[in-house]
A and B are shown apart, each in its own frame.
Chain A
Amino acid sequence: MTLQAAPRGLRSWQLGAREAIPLLGGYIPVAISFGLIAVQAGFTGWEAVLISTLVYAGASQFLFVAMVAAGAPLWFVVVMTLLINARHVVYGPNIAPWLSSSRWWPWLMHGLTDQIFALSHVRLPQLPAPDRMGWFVGASLVAWFSWIGGTALGAVAGKELTQRWPLLAEVMPFALPALFLVLLAPKFASRLWAITLGATVVVALLFAFYGMKNAAIPIAAVAGALVYYGLSILSRDRVRRGGETKDG
């Protein structure tokens, strides 16, 4: 992808903030739903906002609230909410080569959600090293504040909002797949990657369609890795056999 570094006059954090705007389409409607569900489950609006501020992990927040409301043992609630985010452990190492040795980075990882990872994985390598932290701070703050703000809105007026603009809540989340597609598009130039990514997308889509949204991401990624390494071995074998035929 030929994305450019910060245009003249635009600071790195401003560029990050601007590039995170498509995430709002996916974040705000979900955050509004979370605020609404948390209040319905017996939490106050402030508690819902606090959960979004401190935990800041979509699926596990929904699970946390639902399990507490259902009266599950608290140790089990904690284990399950952490397990559901286990995929996050591969995000930090994947962007590590582009991060400086600043001691702020580990704390900034609070903002490393699925979507911020996807954006950073493509964008950080394209930015000059001194701009990377500013860009990450700008992007992750926009995403974090939209999540917190959306939760507050959902807690206060979620029911009214979803009744008045049901169509908006249905349309806005399409910003997420559109963003992911733009981030992946340059990879489709290689045949190996096109087949691998295509297989990963199909597996994830099928699992999500059958209601296994959280399992879908790690399972599809593993399936994609099998396709990638399978195809790599096949093409290496073909090249070797071609070489042997020539030699023979």
Chain B
Amino acid sequence: MDSKLWLALLVTAVGTLMMRALPLLWMRRHLVRKQAANPLDAMPPWLTVLGPLMIAAMFGVSLVPASSTPAAWLATAMGVLVTYVVWKRTQSLGWPVFAGVAVYGAVIVLGTATASG
């Protein structure tokens, strides 16, 4: 990499860190100014709504399989269903994810085997 490219990389890295850190510092100052007993009360309401929505949006984006085949979509639907059912039963973080990935993988393998057989 030449020196100009190094500079571009460093500016990108610092810029990315600033985009993550500066809004936090701003919110900290905002919370100190408001001096609320419960910091959640001092947060702008739109921000508390936006948090879960960003996670939901990431969920929607991540649902689209890399290869858009019927088997991949079926695997996605089954994986989501099993993840939710296992979460309902265990209310934990690890087991639902493990079960969802296992079922997703099993459906993909079955789909691949059926297609090649």
Give the CA-CA distance A169 to B10 in the complex, in Å.
31
User: What sequence of 0s and 1s flags, for each residue 42-73 of chain B, a beta carbon within 8 Å of any chain A beta carbon?
Assistant: 11001111111111111111111111100010
Q: A157 an interface residue at 8 Å Cβ cutoff?
A: no
User: What sequence of 0s and 1s flags, for each residue 75-98 of chain B, a beta carbon within 8 Å of any chain A beta carbon?
Assistant: 110011001100110011110111
Query: Is B80 within 8 A of A216, CB to CB?
Result: no
Q: Which of B9, B43, B92, B105 interacts with A3 by CB under 8 Å?
A: B92
Known: A114-B58, A174-B101, A224-B53. A81 touches B96 (CB 8 A): no
Query: Is A204 within 8 A of B57, CB to CB?
Result: yes
The residues of A that contact B7 with a CB separation of less than 8 Å are 74
Query: Is A118 within 8 A of B47, CB to CB?
Result: no
Query: Is A209 within 8 A of B28, CB to CB?
Result: no
Give the CA-CA distance A172 to B66 in the complex, in Å.
11
Query: Is B1 within 8 A of A200, CB to CB?
Result: no
Known: A88-B20, A92-B23, A185-B87. A197 touches B53 (CB 8 A): yes
Q: Which of B24, B54, B72 interacts with A106 by CB under 8 Å?
A: B24
Q: B33 an interface residue at 8 Å Cβ cutoff?
A: no
Main secondary structure, interface of A, reads helix
Query: Is A178 within 8 A of B51, CB to CB?
Result: no
Query: Is B105 within 8 A of A171, CB to CB?
Result: yes
The residues of B that contact A185 with a CB separation of less than 8 Å are 84, 87-88
Query: Is B17 within 8 A of A64, CB to CB?
Result: no
Give the CA-CA distance A228 to B49 in the complex, in Å.
8
Q: Which of A56, A95, A96, A178 interacts with B100 by CB under 8 Å?
A: A178
Within 8 A of A (CB), among B1-26: 1, 4-5, 7-13, 15-17, 19-26
Main secondary structure, interface of B, reads helix
Query: Is B55 within 8 A of A121, CB to CB?
Result: yes
Give the CA-CA distance A3 to B23 in the complex, in Å.
28
The residues of A that contact B61 with a CB separation of less than 8 Å are 204-205, 207-208, 213, 216-217, 220
Nearest CB of chain B from residue A178's CB, rounded to whole Å: 4
Q: Which of A96, A182, A209 interacts with B83 by CB under 8 Å?
A: A182
Query: Is B9 within 8 A of A50, CB to CB?
Result: yes
Within 8 A of B (CB), among A114-142: 114-115, 117-118, 121-122
Nearest CB of chain A from residue B65's CB, rounded to whole Å: 8
Q: B74 an interface residue at 8 Å Cβ cutoff?
A: no
Nearest CB of chain A from residue B7's CB, rounded to whole Å: 8
Query: Is A203 within 8 A of B100, CB to CB?
Result: no
Query: Is B19 within 8 A of A90, CB to CB?
Result: no
Query: Is B53 within 8 A of A225, CB to CB?
Result: yes
Known: A94-B51, A118-B55, A174-B105. A182 touches B96 (CB 8 A): yes
Given contacts A74-B8, A87-B54, 5 further A-B contacts (CB under 8 A): A60-B12, A88-B16, A99-B28, A218-B57, A220-B53
Task: Write the residues of chain B forming the contact surface with A, with a CB cutoff of 8 angstroms.
Answer: 1, 4-5, 7-13, 15-17, 19-28, 31, 39-40, 42-43, 46-68, 72, 75-76, 79-80, 83-84, 87-88, 91-94, 96-98, 100-101, 104-105, 108-109, 112
A sample of 7 inter-chain contacts (CB < 8 A) reads A22-B93, A91-B20, A93-B23, A93-B47, A117-B55, A121-B51, A216-B61
| 5 smallest beta-carbon distances between A and B, as pairs | A204-B60, A92-B24, A178-B100, A97-B39, A93-B27
